[in-house]
Amino acid sequence: MSDPALTDPSVVQPLALASARAEFDAIDDAVHDLLMRRSALSAQLSAQGMKAGGASFRPGREAMILRRLLARHGGPMPRATVVRLWREVISSSLRLQSAFSVATTAGCEPLARGHFGLDTPLRTHATPSRVLAALSAGEASVAILPSPADGEPPEAAWWISLDAPRLQVVAALPFLMQPGQLLPSAMVVAAFAADATPRDRGLLRLERAPNTSRDALVGALTAAGLSPLRLILSADGLRALAEVEGLIAPEDPRLAGLAALRPWPVGGYAEPEPDTPAAQAEPA
Ligand SMILES: O=C(O)C(=O)C[C@]1(C(=O)O)C=C[C@@H](O)C=C1
């Protein structure tokens, strides 16, 4: 006959819980050791001047780290948790390398916090133009602004007067889309250009004559070899923002074919990741 104590949950469960907790502690120590090692590596990189001559913040590299981790991810932990954890880890690393801070509008604050962590200094301003003024004045390392949208009021359409290439879009938020989300909600603007990744979107500002139709703009972009993924029009109809595949350098030869539209690259961003892994996504 088996010992009744071994099948009695009040005896067996506390023993199993105790050993699980010992394993949690061992895992936490291992994770903590690695996080301390990672932070030390980041601080060392900065102390040795290896990030000198360029911004500490490298959004392209950050996108590649998250894509790589999401591609190898498995098990019950949600993808959103992986991204949230690493966004805190990377943002902490960034703050070890430089005095990193964010300027944004109130509506973008949750996205800014989600991306740059809870401890990054953040200041909200009343309007996009004030956010960009704070960035220009060196009061913040990056500006986070709502994604451009069709026909928005002139004071909201910050992209129209963005002083590129001095200031450029370098990232889009959130990096991991919400379920059902197709377009990013906010853009990160900085005083440097983004590094290219294998999957980027470039932004091109265009000036259009009042009677140029949307179709004519798409036709002109396509003929120049820059098929737009999306086209945003200003409320007065005189400016357009084209989103194309890949970052566009100011010297890109394809821009010559668009001279009549005075094309002006205003940066770009690493394509965000879908909320579900590609293999599980619905077939198109
Ligand atoms: O790869 C770098 O350049 C780093 O400094 C490391 C690191 C990171 O912690 O992963 C830190 C900041 C950058 O924005 C990108 C990556």
Structure tokens at 83: 């991204």
CA 61 to centroid of ligand 1, rounded, Å? 7
Residue 135 has pLDDT above 70, yes or no: yes
- For the stretch 110-131, pLDDT in tens is 999 999 999 999 999 999 999 9
- pLDDT surpassing 70 at residue 1: no
Q: Which atom of ligand 1 is nearest to the CA of 59?
A: 14
Q: Which atom of ligand 1 is nearest to the CA of 93?
A: 9
55 lines ligand 1 (CB under 6 A): no
User: Tens digit of pLDDT for each residue in 57-116?
Assistant: 999 999 999 999 999 999 999 999 999 999 999 999 999 998 999 999 999 999 999 999
Helix (H) or strand (E) holding 18: helix 9-47
> ipTM greater than 0.95, yes or no?
yes
Helix then strand then coil, in percent of the chain rounded to 5, is 45, 20, 40
Q: pLDDT, tens digit, for every residue of 189-204?
A: 999 999 999 999 999 9
